[in-house]
Amino acid sequence: MWKFLKEMPKVELHAHLNGSLNTNSLQDLAEKVYGNTSEEFSHLCARFVNFEKDSNLDKCFEKFAFVHELTSTAAGLQYATELVIRDFANDNIQYLELRTTPKANKNYLRRDYLRIVLDTIKRSRKKYPNILVKLLPSINRSEPVAVAEETVALALEFAKTDPDLVVGIDLSGIPTKGKFTDFCGALDLARREGLKLVIHCAEIDNPPEIKEMLSFGMSRCGHGTYLTEEDFAQMKAANIPIECCLTSNVKSGSVSSFEEHHLKRLMESDAPRVVCTDDSGVFDTSLTNEFLLVVETFNVTRDQCIDLTLEAVKHSFASEQERQQMALKVEHYVNSLQTD
Ligand SMILES: CNc1ncnc2c1ncn2[C@@H]1O[C@H](COP(=O)(O)O)[C@@H](O)[C@H]1O
Ligand SMILES: [Zn+2]
């Protein structure tokens, strides 16, 4: 099963750049960019992926600070982007929608940040020709609305020059921080200008906010952990898929066990859903591993894994032609198994 899942040409729709750096890549990054090969750093990396039993979202968010330090220079950010693409390519991801929050510090402005990531994605095409990468700039809800407005303005600016690359906007960050309605203006502008919206929604139990988010609308829903049966029905009717990130939800304590994960109910009610990693580095996972968890927890068959991949193709923000090519790759894979 592992080999079947590993070789399947998978589609990843929910991955944060800085959260997707695994310990090996963090060590590569520390060594190549900063010349740090100390044992102390290796210990820090080991601690980074170690989760206590009683972990919660706040503890997860603390971990991002560690990675953010390593990507706080232009060279660090550039190499990190390349490493993340490399790691997803090595996991046979044929299509990746990468999200990241543009940051500003003494080394770069938010515009530089996006430029570095975009240029690295473009340059990686030669080295990793089997993976198609798109970018979704993220709004961090912990930051002021003015920053969100700047992020949307930059996303629109880059979408003009690279419309095949910048395809959407993500709203993420600590779910207890910020007020959703404060970001609606920026999000709505992005949507009116043609960008797709992905929103981290219902990662915590906050019924009024969930209601606001559902009525505002989105193209895909991140997590949807605390959606009610009624909400799920509403999402199904609107054909909005839930991005299911099993390891992320369990390690961050928002879902109590894999068995309890809402993917089960989504599959039973045949509602749109996609399997994603969220932060494969922080949560020490991969899309292959997420599929294996789905298979082992819910007795999902190989055919259903193929169907889940085709569903991700359908809900991706790729062009019609790109989606056809992705589906064809999956079809070829299935055919190659039959002739084995
Ligand atoms: C665990 N569930 C989650 N819920 C909400 N936001 C999350 C997240 N996981 C990651 N992020 C958001 O993505 C950032 C890291 O990638 P970038 O620096 O943007 O590349 C985090 O700082 C957080 O804002
Ligand atoms: Zn996420």
pLDDT, tens digit (0-9, with 9 covering 90-100), for 267-325: 999 999 999 999 999 999 999 999 999 999 999 999 999 999 999 999 999 999 999 99
Spacing, Cα 37 to ligand 2 middle (Å): 30
The SS3 call for residue 172 is strand
204 vs 220: CA distance, rounded Å: 17
pLDDT, tens digit (0-9, with 9 covering 90-100), for 36-79: 888 888 888 888 888 877 788 888 888 899 899 999 999 999 99
End-to-end CA distance of the chain: 15
**Would the CB of 17 count as within 6 Å of ligand 1?**
yes
Closest atom, ligand 1, to C-alpha of 278:
9
What is the number of the ligand closest to the CA of 114? 1
* Residue in 203, 212, 230, 290 annotated catalytic: 203
pLDDT, tens digit (0-9, with 9 covering 90-100), for 4-13: 999 999 999 9
* Paired strand residues for 133: 96
Q: Does residue 203 carry a catalytic annotation? A: yes
pLDDT value at residue 43: 85
**Would the CB of 316 count as within 6 Å of ligand 1?**
no
Sign of torsion over alpha carbons 321, 155, 88, 308: negative
Ligand 1 atom 6, closest CA: 173
pLDDT, tens digit (0-9, with 9 covering 90-100), for 227-279: 999 999 999 999 999 999 999 999 999 999 999 999 999 999 999 999 999 99
Quote the distance between the C-alpha of residue 257 and its chain's center.
Answer: 21
What is the number of the ligand closest to the CA of 60? 1
193 vs 158: CA distance, rounded Å: 12
- For 13, phi then psi, to 5°, come to -110, -10
pLDDT value at residue 270: 96
**Would the CB of 200 count as within 6 Å of ligand 1?**
yes
Quickly list H helices, the chain.
Answer: 2-7, 23-34, 39-48, 57-70, 74-90, 110-127, 145-161, 180-192, 207-216, 229-237, 246-251, 263-268, 287-298, 302-315, 320-338
pLDDT, tens digit (0-9, with 9 covering 90-100), for 19-30: 999 999 999 999
DSSP, res 239? T
pLDDT, tens digit (0-9, with 9 covering 90-100), for 79-127: 999 999 999 999 999 999 999 999 999 999 999 999 999 999 999 999 9
pLDDT value at residue 273: 98
- For 292, phi then psi, to 5°, come to -65, -40
pLDDT, tens digit (0-9, with 9 covering 90-100), for 196-231: 999 999 999 999 999 999 999 999 999 999 999 999
**Would the CB of 100 count as within 6 Å of ligand 1?**
yes
**Would the CB of 60 count as within 6 Å of ligand 1?**
yes
Spacing, Cα 19 to ligand 1 middle (Å): 7
Complex-level ipTM: 1.00
Tokens of residue 178, six digits:
């910020």
pLDDT value at residue 340: 67
Which has the closest alpha carbon to 222: 254, 185, 195, 190? 254
Report the percentage of the chain scoring pLDDT > 70: 100
